[in-house]
Chain A
Amino acid sequence: MTETFLEIKNIYKKFRGVQALEDVSIDVIKGEVHSIIGENGAGKSTLIKIISGVVRSDKGNVLLEGEDITHFPIKKLFKKGISASHQENSLFDNLTIAQNLLISNFFDYKGLGFSWTKIIDSTSEILKSFGLNNINPLELVSELPPETRQIIEILKSIARKPKVLCLDEPTASLNEKGAQQFFKLLESLKEKGITILYISHNLEEVLRISDRITVLRDGKKVKTIERKEADKQALHQLMIGRSIVQKLRQKIIHKQEQPILKVKNASDGNKLKDISFEIYPGEVLGLAGLVGCGRTELAWLLFGLTPLKSGEIFYKNKLLRNITPDRAIKNRIMYLPEDRKLMGLFLSQDLKVNITASKISKIRKNMMIDFKKENKLTTDMLGELGVRYTTLSQLALKLSGGNQQKVLFGKCLFTEPDLLILDEPTKGIDVGSKEEIYELIAKLVEQGMTIILISSEIEEICKLSDRVIVMVKGQIKDEYKGDMINERDITSCYLQTETR
């Protein structure tokens, strides 16, 4: 029983300057459910991707039953018995359930000798055996509810009767009922002797199904513990347990003035429900929560990218109606989007164009562009932000991630905002640039700017915010102020409410 089945040995992986995994070693025993937990960005998904062959590790080995299977192509790993269901959907939306299962080699068929009727019959049998009685195997995957999709996704990954099954956040999109069905499925897989690697945020789930639990933090393994020894408190400690970072700036509690922005019972008719909060001038308000809890949606609502369905937004004591991004910019509200390549920068344009794009009126003189002024303002801005560039006509494409992010800051600051909404301002950049951006944020606040900070890095939120709002499933769950802000309370606030 205690023999090592799957051995992960000293894995290293670096993504564009960011060390995602560092010297991670895990021994997995045959037939166990082994959970891997950790915060956002701890390296869980990367590890699974390395094991299942989607991503190549920089260093280190993966051994299955003593055989070195490092860097095997996915197909070969399938044959060896390693199968994974990733966080990202891997079903073909425009095909039916039966077709999806067929593609993943669920059925044994040779050459042209297969019959559709047979496949459809056996698909519905399989669906029935997992409690999905009313599902037509000819239904398109795109029309299925998320929980059914998730089950199909897992069926797909067990198609080849794997020895090791890797599941990455399988319950993230499931409701209560779906999750129950899913756990039944897991139990039956475990009875069949399949070894399961299970990734989740949700500690209750992990405690419910695991035999052993490995905790990752910042790309490093913290510890592997037996289920018996684990409880929620202990796991929490291990997940967060880094030393408390010293405060970057004195936290202030603003109460004296009128709020600069007041949101009353706002909803977007989709994800956000009944959001009410206030933000005071010169404050940093952190928005914490799991990925997909509605933080970005809230930012889009405030910047006018999505329309307000109900509720009211007051800004500088005036009711804002029909917000659009251009009106928001005129009102001195600016949004820094989370994906700089897709939403933030015009990659095929030069630095001048990027910096001045959101407020061309500043460099306009009688309908013409004032090129001298443009050069001067851009040079000033880039210098102030410490961007390393060659010429002003360099394309944004050619800068490194950290420098691109600084240019994106420049693009936002060029509009001279009073309220700046930052969505994941340090995503995917190296540690040095991260520190520079923290300093920049502190400086901006000192100058009187009001900032809403959205981040999945709880450390970042705690370091910078004066006040933190925790969001869960599109609603505001709780609020922390001043000295009450600490990583442990905030994470447990959004993690514990995720129980099913």
Chain B
Amino acid sequence: MKETSQAATYKLKRDNENLSNLIRTYAVWLILLLLIVIMSFISPVFLTLRNFITVFKNIGPFSIVAVGLTFVFLGGGFDLSQGAILLLTSTIIVNLNPVTGISFVGSFLLCLLAAAVIGAINGYFIGMQRMNAFITTLGMRYVLGALIYIVTSGAVISAASKSHILEALGLNSVFRIPIQTIIVAAIIIICWFIVRFTAYSREVKIVGSSLFVSRFTGLKFGRIQLSTYVINAVLAGIAGILVGSQMSYVVPTLTWNYDFDAITACAVGGISLSGGRGSIMNTLAGVMLIGFINNAMVLLGLAQAWQSIFKGLVLLIAIIVDMQIKKRYE
């Protein structure tokens, strides 16, 4: 008799657990759907292929930054330097080719190398030397931002004489779908595959859920954490190249909030900021929600400030919901 009642409580608990996970995973998608439905009634241009293509093109670089950051979050880290890395590679890709005559492929590889080195420096200090991730990457953000400013003398860089490949990357489409969007989709699918199926991502998640326990588990936690910062930096570097290809000029100051937007997207999507839990689908949901909110605001003719207010509100609501779920079922 007692056995059965115990089994029943177990079952009840399990159902609740699954339910709460389910709610959390799909809540963002549902809100997104709701937003799309409401917007298609309000704005006649919202539900058009052109608008959707614009939204996806706009969130392209930002989604890659967020996907990169997902790796860092899964590994229990934190990164504030992606915005600066993005600025660096976009500056390099726009400048290097016209100024020095280095081919596009050459400057492309240089961008990736620079990003990887910066990521490795971050990762070395945080993973191997156990420095505080927040402070280290904040420092890196300042240093990179200032370096770019010094090298370019703070002047707006016009990309008048962009290389053909870069221009094609920025403007061309295949069957009305921008090449950029296809590249972004490919990168996201690859990352989703890595996080979902590989042994590497398992190690990252384990290290992220507790550094101390992973010491007793025989994992090389320092190296694993380092690798997440390198992945993040390289993806931010690629995002920078895409940004460089889209823009006709680059303002070499840290005015874009790619890093904070990426953090918001991860948090809204349901990536655990304390490490170890989450998937690329979570991040994608967060990215798309923010992308469509921005789009809706523009279509409704609301000022930039309103976009920030909505972003902030969505972030706060997401965190409140997370807390409630935790309180109720854990």
Q: Which residues of A contact B (CB under 8 A)?
A: 305, 324-326, 328-329, 335, 337, 342-349, 353, 357-358, 360-361, 363-364, 367-369, 390-391, 394-395, 397-398, 411, 415
Contacts and interface: CB of A to CB of B under 8 A. Distances in A.
A343 B218 contact: no
8 contacts: A325-B216, A335-B216, A346-B206, A347-B210, A348-B210, A349-B277, A391-B14, A394-B17
Interface bin, chain B: 20 to 34
Interface in B166-216: 197-200, 202-203, 205-206, 209-210, 212-216
A349 B209 contact: yes
B209 A305 contact: no
Nearest to B201: A369
B10 A390 contact: yes
A346 B199 CA distance: 17
A390 B8 CA distance: 11
B144 interface: no
A240 B73 CA distance: 52
Contact of B205 (A353, A364, A391): A353
A344 B205 contact: no
Nearest to A397: B330
Interface in B212-257: 212-220
B50 interface: no
Interface of B: 10-11, 13-14, 17, 197-200, 202-203, 205-206, 209-210, 212-220, 272, 276-277, 330
Contact of A328 (B218, B219, B277): B218
B198 A368 contact: yes
Given A328-B218, A357-B206, A364 B199 contact: yes
B10 A343 contact: no
Given A326-B220, A369-B198, A305 B206 contact: no
B216 A344 contact: yes
B45 to A, nearest CB: 44
B216 A346 contact: no
B14 A337 contact: no
A345 B212 CA distance: 10
B199 A357 contact: no
A346 B205 CA distance: 10
A360 B209 contact: no
B217 A325 contact: yes
Given A348-B276, A349-B206, A398-B13, A357 B219 contact: yes
A50 to B, nearest CB: 30
Given A346-B206, A353-B205, A397-B330, A367 B218 contact: no
Q: Considering residues B205, B209, B217, which has the most beta carbons from chain A within 10 angstroms of its beta carbon?
A: B217
Nearest to B199: A364
Given A343-B212, A367-B198, A368-B199, A349 B218 contact: no
Contacts of B214: 346, 357
B14 A369 contact: no
A390 B14 contact: yes
A357 B219 CA distance: 8
Contacts of A369: 197-199, 202
Given A345-B213, A349-B205, 13 more contacts: A343-B212, A343-B216, A346-B210, A348-B276, A348-B277, A353-B202, A357-B219, A358-B219, A360-B199, A360-B202, A364-B199, A390-B11, A390-B13
Contacts of A324: 218
B219 A326 contact: yes
Q: Considering residues A343, A357, A394, which has the most beta carbons from chain B within 10 angstroms of its beta carbon?
A: A357
Contact of B276 (A326, A329, A346): A346
Contact of B212 (A325, A328, A342, A395): A342
Contacts of B14: 390-391, 394
Contacts of A357: 206, 214, 217, 219
Nearest to B329: A398
Contact of B209 (A335, A344, A348, A361): A348
Given A360-B202, A364-B199, A329 B218 contact: yes
B209 A346 contact: yes
Contacts of A390: 10-11, 13-14
Contacts of A397: 330
Contacts of B13: 390, 398
A430 to B, nearest CB: 15
A367 B198 CA distance: 6
Contacts of A353: 202, 205-206
A325 B215 CA distance: 7
B289 to A, nearest CB: 25
A111 B56 CA distance: 65
Contacts of A342: 212-213
Contact of A337 (B199, B200, B216, B277): B216
Given A369-B197, A369-B198, A358 B209 contact: no
Contacts of B272: 348
Contacts of A329: 218
Contacts of B330: 397
A307 to B, nearest CB: 13
A346 B217 CA distance: 10
A359 to B, nearest CB: 8
A149 B178 CA distance: 70
Nearest to A333: B218
Nearest to B21: A393
Nearest to A364: B199
B213 A358 contact: no
Contacts of A337: 216
A305 B215 contact: yes
A20 B104 CA distance: 73
Contacts of B218: 324-326, 328-329, 358, 415
Given A329-B218, A344-B213, A349-B276, A367 B199 contact: yes
Nearest to A349: B209
A349 to B, nearest CB: 5
A326 B13 CA distance: 37
Contacts of A349: 205-206, 209, 276-277
A344 B212 CA distance: 9
Contacts of A395: 17
Contacts of B213: 342-346
A369 B218 CA distance: 18
9 closest A-B pairs by beta carbon, nearest first, are: A325-B218, A326-B218, A329-B218, A364-B199, A358-B217, A346-B209, A390-B14, A343-B216, A357-B217
A348 B199 CA distance: 18
